[in-house]
Structure 1
Amino acid sequence: MQIRQPALPTAKPSVTPSAYVLLSLPLGILYFVFIVAGLTLSAGLLPIFVGLPILLGVLTILFGIAGFERSLARAVLGLDDPEPASASASVAAERGLFRRLGRAVADPASYLNILLCILKLPIGIVNFVVSVTLVCVSIGLIATPAVYVVLERTISIDIFETSYWIADLAPNITSMQLSFVCTAIGFVLLFLSVATIRAMAAWTARFTLAMARAPR
């Protein structure tokens, strides 16, 4: 009996957390559209039996998607855990449409993969919105001195002119000094943003590994 060695972390992940988080939205949209269109089409054509091969094709492709998602997740986590040779080999090995379809429908992995494709969309939306918002706000705060100088010298607008609560807290601080305070806050927020993106990527990858299954 061959004992499978546990997954070991490699020195460096081959996919960066930021790339994984940003990819989660377009992939989530693609998966959601595919699963909804595929299942709807196959269900609508079941009365004339055309839906049976379509359903088998959808479930087979889902095993391929699950294998791709597992590979991405392991690359993000830096796990040295090779993918099986063929994600859908056991389903394709069956002879006959009804045998192959029956095996795929009876496999719990099919339903986990369907659920994964559906959940990838809301997870991708949250990951994308949170990461882009944090990074954009951080960069905006870091660039505050440049924005202040440009606006003040070109159109004579002080972006801190109406910040009366700041004047009450620190009456002697100038607008330029305040802009550098914003820059310092921006660097802190950028550091927190990177940590947050890494945490979201790690959670998403672990969730994917728990959901994406190969056929039995």
Structure 2
Amino acid sequence: MSLTRLKSTIKYTKKMQRKIEISVCQYRSNHRQWTAGKSKEKKVGKTMESVQSALVKFFGVVIRGQTYLNALYLLLAFPLGLFYFIFLVTGLSLGFATIIVWVGLLILALVFGAWYAFIAFERQMAISMLREEIPPMTRQDLTGKSLWQKFTATLTNSVTWKGLLYLLVKFPLGILSFVVLVTLLSVSASFIGLPFYYQYIHPSVDLTMNGVYYFNPVWLVDTLPEALLGSLVGILILLVSLHIFNGLAWVSGKFARVMLGNFSTAPAQPAVLEPVQALPALEETPEFAEAGPAPETGEEPPAEPKPLDHAI
């Protein structure tokens, strides 16, 4: 009887051990699935956050005021660059041509002062409109200097000559910025305004030697749904254009920082403390030597106090 009970106990123990092993395997499998699901959720969450951030950056360009400051800066680059180019080329040519009759020196001096003022204006405009941190044009303290010292310091300043190159290069860069700005804005406006004038669009006309004939365009918008679709395309083109404007303005700001800032001068060194000299003795001072020793009054110096007697 006891042997039968022992066998049944062993059989029951093995059965329970098997159940425990199955439960542990199921727990491990469920834990792996739960961990994989959590990591998958984290990856999906990070992906959604990155997509949301990208969408906010893409569509948020419309409500950022810096975007329109950048566009205005690019729009002003063409007229300013044209003015700088004409003024500098004409002034320098006229000044060097008439330098033999001494009038050219005055013209060159005026042109020199004007182009330095233009450099300062461009630097300030890049700081205020593009929010670009540009170092000072000069790190020398010219306070209290003479006019000739200021002139030579300005003449030897690297920003003076880098700024001249910047003013001359601003003309072709201004043309590029103006063409890109006007072209993209015109294309965007033409697509966005399609619902208002699509009914008045006609096929293109080609003139030949034999007469006039019409040809079918690539996309002829003649219905309102197509016009609305074209308007959505125009909005996308406008958003992409604004990002292109910001990119051009960023490049312009970095170029202005390199050309209009002074990086050559190192910061001032800390002052070196001089060693403190020892004060002379009282007998060595001239005042003491002139006064001489203290006069004798005939009085005896006071006696030193005697120690107290504590004995009783």
Normalising by the residue count of structure 1, what TM-score does the alignment of the two structures yield? 0.72
What secondary structure sits across from 2:147 in the alignment? coil
| Aligned equivalent of 1:95, options 143, 147, 166 | 147
Alpha-carbon displacement from aligned partner over 1:127-163 (angstroms, at most 9, x marks no partner)? 01101110111010111121113x27xxxx578x934
- C-alpha deviation, 1:92, in angstroms: 10
Alignment CA distance shift 1:75-1:15 (3 Å) = farther
The 1-side partners of 2:167 and 2:102 are apart by 25
Q: Partner amino acid for 1:162?
A: N
Q: Partner amino acid for 2:168?
A: I
Structure with larger RCO (C-alpha < 8 A, sep 6+): 1
The 1-side partners of 2:195 and 2:125 are apart by 40
Q: Is contact 1:138-1:190 (8 Å) kept? A: yes
**2:187 is the counterpart of 1:133:** no
Residue aligning to 2:268: none
The 2-side partners of 1:35 and 1:183 are apart by 45
Q: Partner amino acid for 1:33?
A: I
| Aligned equivalent of 1:196, options 223, 244, 250 | 244
Written as runs of structure 1 = structure 2, the 5 A alignment for 1:1-216 is 16-79=69-132, 90=142, 93-96=145-148, 102-149=152-199, 151=200, 157=202, 162-163=216-217, 175-213=223-261
Structure 2: gaps (5+ residues):
1-63, 205-214, 266-312
Q: Partner amino acid for 2:84?
A: Y
The 2-side partners of 1:195 and 1:113 are apart by 28
Alpha-carbon displacement from aligned partner over 1:35-68 (angstroms, at most 9, x marks no partner)? 1122112101211222223222222222211111
Q: Is contact 1:144-1:183 (8 Å) kept? A: yes
The 2-side partners of 1:91 and 1:42 are apart by 30
- C-alpha deviation, 1:202, in angstroms: 1.9
- C-alpha deviation, 1:189, in angstroms: 0.1
The 2-side partners of 1:83 and 1:106 are apart by 15
The 2-side partners of 1:46 and 1:30 are apart by 24
Q: Partner amino acid for 1:147?
A: Y
Q: Is contact 1:63-1:110 (8 Å) kept? A: yes
The 2-side partners of 1:64 and 1:78 are apart by 20
Alignment CA distance shift 1:113-1:83 (3 Å) = closer
- C-alpha deviation, 1:79, in angstroms: 4.4
Residue aligning to 1:170: none
Structure 1: gaps (5+ residues):
1-10, 168-172
Identity of aligned residues (%): 25
Between structure 1 and structure 2, the one with the greater Rg is 2
The 2-side partners of 1:12 and 1:142 are apart by 22
Normalising by the residue count of structure 2, what TM-score does the alignment of the two structures yield? 0.52
The 1-side partners of 2:153 and 2:133 are apart by 30
- C-alpha deviation, 1:119, in angstroms: 0.5
Which sits farther off after the overlay, 138-147 or 58-67? 58-67
Query: How many matched pairs?
Result: 191
The 2-side partners of 1:120 and 1:83 are apart by 20
Cα RMSD, aligned residues only:
3.6
Alignment CA distance shift 1:32-1:138 (3 Å) = same
